[in-house]
């Protein structure tokens, strides 16, 4: 790829695509541990796979990609196939096709369904906890029991939080103290990573759901019987 010029950049959910030409599209998924590191000036020393999977360098700036889940060259056909397998991205569209009716077709807890990237693209574990908290929906609630209002609220929460995260430089801060005066400390999330609920003070319930630690305030998010 040395010396190649990026023609366009496209992101969908957690996937980023750098288009060079029809046969060369760089596909990146950071996963849990991937990151871009910025360094002032030209690169120093030889690049190694352990140090950087990808390096973009100029005389004034060097950017290294480290430890991504995916870093591969594909063509435009493969790129389109990857995107087609993903659900709607709340950052890209205001209204999801079909109104998220696919969520109710899955016989799983809603907390497992909304992190399925084929259903909604881009929601990770932090946003799962915070979106469902904002909607007063317990993550263990069966997805088939959700009402139309529940689906609209989940999507609206995803749009609001994910777009706010982008506008805030990638930071995840779901507590907005300019609008929510019930939170009087410096925490940035209501339930994720918390011991007590940011609003009511109840003990946060933690358990494993879809392979990741789930969080819920069972006072604010009662599990419907």
| pLDDT tens by residue, 78-96 | 999 999 999 999 999 998 8
The reported pLDDT for the residue numbered 44 is: 67
The reported pLDDT for the residue numbered 99 is: 72
pLDDT tens-digit readout, 9-42: 999 999 999 999 889 999 999 998 999 998 888 7
Q: Residue 43: pLDDT above 70?
A: yes
CA 195 to mean position of chain CA atoms: 23
Q: Residue 204: pLDDT above 70?
A: yes
Residue 48: which domain range?
8-84
Domain count, the chain: 2
Q: Among 62, 84, 106, give the residue marking a domain's end.
A: 84
For 166, residues 6+ apart whose C-beta sits below 8 A from its C-beta are 91
For 74, residues 6+ apart whose C-beta sits below 8 A from its C-beta are 25, 27, 82
pLDDT tens-digit readout, 96-108: 877 788 888 888 9
Strand partners, 56: 63
Q: Work out the average pLDDT over 47-58.
A: 76
Q: 105 with 72, same domain? A: no
Q: 136 with 67, same domain? A: no
The reported pLDDT for the residue numbered 18 is: 96
Q: Work out the average pLDDT over 37-60.
A: 77
The reported pLDDT for the residue numbered 45 is: 61
Q: Work out the average pLDDT over 110-137.
A: 96
Q: 146 with 168, same domain? A: yes
Least confident of 46-60, 110-124, 162-176, 199-213: 46-60
Q: Is residue 92 in some structural domain?
A: no
pTM of the model: 0.90
Q: 78 with 111, same domain? A: no
Q: Residue 48: pLDDT above 90?
A: no
Q: Work out the average pLDDT over 195-206.
A: 96
Q: Is residue 177 in some structural domain?
A: yes
Give the pLDDT band of residue 50 (cuts 50, 70, 90): low
State the maximum Cα–Cα separation within the chain, in Å, rounded to a whole number. 62
Q: Is residue 140 in some structural domain?
A: yes
pLDDT tens-digit readout, 151-200: 999 999 999 999 999 999 888 999 987 777 778 788 999 999 999 999 99
Q: 105 with 172, same domain? A: yes
Q: Among 84, 117, 149, give the residue marking a domain's end.
A: 84
Q: 57 with 101, same domain? A: no
Give Cα separations from 74 to 7, 25, 83, 175, 192 (angstroms): 15, 5, 13, 39, 36
DSSP string, 71-119: EEEE-HHHHHHHHHTS---TTT-SS-GGGGGGGGGS-SBHHHHTT-TTT
The reported pLDDT for the residue numbered 2 is: 86
Q: Among 42, 57, 84, give the residue marking a domain's end.
A: 84
DSSP string, 178-193: TT-TT--SS-S-SSTT
């Amino acid at each position: 790829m040395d010396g190649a010029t990026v023609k366009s950049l496209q992101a969908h959910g957690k996937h980023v695509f750098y288009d060079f030409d029809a046969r060369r599209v760089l596909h990146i998924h950071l996963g849990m541990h991937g990151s871009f590191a910025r360094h002032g000036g030209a690169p120093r020393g030889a690049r190694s796979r352990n140090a950087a999977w990808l390096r973009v360098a100029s005389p004034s700036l060097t950017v290294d990609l480290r430890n991504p889940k995916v870093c591969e060259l594909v063509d435009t056909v493969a790129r389109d196939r990857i995107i087609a397998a993903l659900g709607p991205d709340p950052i890209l569209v205001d209204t999801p096709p079909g109104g998220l009716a696919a969520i109710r077709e899955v016989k799983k807890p809603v907390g497992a369904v909304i992190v399925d990237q084929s259903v909604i693209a881009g929601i990770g574990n932090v946003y799962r906890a915070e979106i469902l908290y904002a909607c007063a929906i317990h993550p263990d609630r069966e997805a088939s029991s959700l009402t139309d209002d529940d689906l609209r609220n989940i999507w609206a929460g995803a749009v609001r939080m994910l777009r706010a995260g982008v506008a805030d430089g990638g930071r995840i801060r779901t507590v907005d103290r300019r609008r929510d005066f019930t939170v009087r400390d410096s925490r940035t999330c209501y339930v994720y990573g918390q011991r007590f609920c940011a609003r009511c003070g109840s003990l946060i319930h933690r358990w494993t759901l879809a392979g990741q630690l789930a969080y819920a305030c069972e006072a604010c998010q009662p599990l419907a019987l």
